[in-house]
Structure 1
């Protein structure tokens, strides 16, 4: 179960690096249009692009923090840092589900919540 837990945590970290890439560098592309539900003209507005870059930066911080804790910390510290970062993801997903779309919780929150539970049980 430890390997499953660490793999799940890694997936959540990589997911946030993908979100960072999407928001910061592909915010006007086809995948962004499908993911965020905006049309091309909306996504090309300078204010919207700036907001996406900012959001992407924060998602990058989360992804790097999760992956860093997997590879650079001893077990006890890793456990605490993973709970912290996964907690951030779960809280952000709850806010996103309430304010934007329930899909955010399903895509981001549930994997992070499962990862937190696995970390608590198996690490």
Structure 2
């Protein structure tokens, strides 16, 4: 279960690096249009692009924090993973309440499972 736990945490970290790239660099592409529900013209507005870049940097910090945790000793890894995956769960709850329930399904559930696995098996 340890390998599964570390793998699940890695998936959550990589997911957030992908979200960072989507928000910061690919915000007007087809995937962004489908993900965020806007057309290319709206997503290309300077104000919208600035908001996405701001959100993206935070997702990047979370992704890097989770992946960095995987390089630490087990005790330190456990603390860092609970902190960063916990951030993801809270952010996903807020996103589900304010934007779309899909956010919790895509981001929150994997992070919640990761938190539970970390607490049980690490």
Q: TM-score, normalised by structure 2?
A: 0.99
| Structure 1 residue 35, shift from structure 2 partner | 0.4
Distance 2:109 2:36 in 1: 19
Q: Secondary structure at the match of 1:26?
A: coil
The residue correspondences of 1:7-46 to structure 2 (distance < 5 A) are: 7-46=7-46
Q: 1:52-109 deviations in whole A, cap 9, x for unaligned?
A: 00100000000000000001x1111110010000010000000000000000000000
| Structure 1 residue 49, shift from structure 2 partner | 0.1
Q: Look up the match of 1:111.
A: 110
Q: Secondary structure at the match of 1:110?
A: helix
Distance 1:26 1:40 in 2: 11
Gaps of 5+ in 1: none
User: How many aligned positions are there?
Assistant: 122
Moved over 2 A (4+): none
Q: Look up the match of 2:91.
A: 92
Q: Secondary structure at the match of 1:38?
A: coil
Distance 1:84 1:91 in 2: 11
Cα-Cα RMSD: 0.4
Q: TM-score, normalised by structure 1?
A: 0.98
Distance 1:40 1:78 in 2: 40
Q: Does 1:60 align with 2:81?
A: no
| Structure 1 residue 41, shift from structure 2 partner | 1.4
